[in-house]
Amino acid sequence: MNSFRAAIDDFLAQKRIVVAGVSRDGQSPANAIAKKLRENGYTVFALNPHVDSIDGAPCYPDLAALPEPVDGVFTVTPPAATEALARACVEQGIPRLWIHRSLDDSSYSEAAVTYALEHGVTVIPWGCPMMYVQPDVAHRCMRWLFSTFKRFPKEIEGPRSPA
């Protein structure tokens, strides 16, 4: 088991992050997350298979198309796409996957978590970087509420050894 907060700190200590689920119209939370990370010094690679650029930055169709290695993937996608991203993380050797999850299950997929863990990927199955990277009042309050009322786990399961 790993500390939930230690896994988040490790993820956010990396500087090359993929944000999957950005939208053309800018309405996805992924767009705001990508912007926040960029504003805080991260190199962000946006993922959306349907567009070439978003907010003036290149957008990539999948992890295999990235121009350089990345340290982690944050996903704000439907659960089926999260499962595909977990498989792609394994294929591309990306060691960290953070799955957006808030008041509902959002992007969460048990199959994605299981697959990633079984293949050595560290998975953060809750929360959002907006709660930790220079959080605004709303995200700071959400982090406090989820922590206080035990929506966030204290521990998360670490990568499993291959059987």
Q: pLDDT digit string (tens) for 64-77?
A: 999 999 999 999 99
Domain harbouring 130, CATH code? 3.40.50.720
Name the domain count of the chain: 1
Say how far apart CA 58 and CA 34 lie, in whole Å: 12
Lowest mean pLDDT among 34-48, 54-68, 110-124, 147-161: 147-161
pLDDT value, residue 71: 96
In a domain, 46, yes or no: yes
In a domain, 49, yes or no: yes
In a domain, 147, yes or no: yes
pLDDT value, residue 150: 62
In a domain, 163, yes or no: no
Confidence of residue 38 (pLDDT cuts 50, 70, 90): very high
How many helices (H) does the chain have, and how many strands (E)? 5, 9
- pLDDT tens digits along 89-148: 999 999 999 999 876 668 999 999 999 999 999 999 988 887 888 877 776 776 666 676
In a domain, 158, yes or no: no
- pLDDT tens digits along 9-29: 999 999 999 999 999 887 788
Could you tell me the pTM of the whole model? 0.87
In a domain, 161, yes or no: no
pLDDT value, residue 163: 44
In a domain, 133, yes or no: yes
E strands along the chain, which residues?
2-3, 16-20, 43-47, 53-54, 57-60, 72-75, 96-99, 122-124, 155-156
Q: What SS3 state is found at 94?
A: coil
> Residue 59 is part of which domain span?
2-153
In a domain, 162, yes or no: no
